[in-house]
Amino acid sequence: MSLVQHVLALLVLGLRVCITQVWNEEACQSRHGPVLVYNKIPKTGSTTLSTLLQRSSRHGFKAVCNQSMHQYNAFTEQQEREAIKDILTTKPTDRPVAHHQHSRWLDFEKHGYNKPLYLNLMRDPVARHTSRYYFLTQTLPKRHRHSQPLRRQSHLTINECFDLSDECWYSSYLNTLGNLMTAYFCGNHLDCRNGSTHAALERAKHNLRNEYTLVGLNERYHDTLRLLEVLLPDYFEGVVARAASMPHQRESKGYEPLAEHHRLKWRLLIANDIKLYRYTSELFQERVKACLSDSE
């Protein structure tokens, strides 16, 4: 290597180190704002985190389970605008407010409003769907099992059900909402109507990286809470201690895991959620290394 090449290599290395240091500083800065939105995804540990949010609200902010946000499918532009207005009009003037509900990402800036702080939580997609299957068949009260196929097949394990192929009641859900996590992060744009498209995945990645203060992982719940204390202290100060004596809630226990041959088929149906989860895991690990001093 010539002297010029050696100097150039050192300059590039120094630039990379500088960029990394700046990113680390920005990544670990506390965020403050009057509105926090947690558009929680079902079966990711959201009930536990919502409960922690409610308990934390005793220390200076208000937590609201906002029904105007509650919708699995995409909002129309008018519905999105009304949901945003409802969030902003329920904000108390004397303290911050945290809204939590099952909802897709809402584009505040598109409708002329300042964007809030955003938070969410993800889970391994196969584990999330397996948990949802057993929640609906075992935990959900029978009076709420409105689907005839669900009522007929609720005694089946997940493998017994999928041995029936398309006759399994959960198959239709996988075909329509299998990539629900992608759709939630994508939002209400026309590209987001179907979470299985490439356009939906790219929008979801963009929003996840640029619009969210943190997207935690169910499988790394403790690290997620530690990061929340660092990044959102107005809402989560002391949350690690608060969570120490509180187990995950409403989790279906003792269920049979999905067989490998069914898992292979699922991977095709929920491919976008798997890609998004891997992308999130990489970002999360970068944040852990940058912000938690005892990380490896």
Catalytic positions are 102
Cα–Cα distance measured from residue 286 to residue 288, given in angstroms and rounded to the nearest whole number: 6
Q: What are residue 62's phi and psi, to 5 degrees?
A: -110, 135
For 82, 122, 138, 145, 146, the CA distances from 152, given in Å and listed in that order, are 39, 31, 13, 10, 11
Give the CA count within 13 Å in the CB-facing half-sphere of 227: 25
Q: Tell me the sheet residues that pair with 103.
A: 71
Edge to edge, what strands does the sheet with 35-40 contain? 62-65, 97-102, 35-40, 117-122, 214-217
Helix axes 125-134, 260-269, angle to 10 degrees: 110
Pair of tokens at residue 18:
């500088």
For 48, 180, 242, the CA distances from 247, given in Å and listed in that order, are 8, 25, 11
AA identity, residue 30: S
Q: Beta-carbon neighbour count of residue 253 at 10 Å?
A: 7
* Selection from 76, 106, 98, 69 nearest residue 207 by Cα: 106
| Burial degree of 146 (CB within 10 A; 0-12, 13-18, 19+) | exposed
Helix axes 221-231, 271-291, angle to 10 degrees: 60
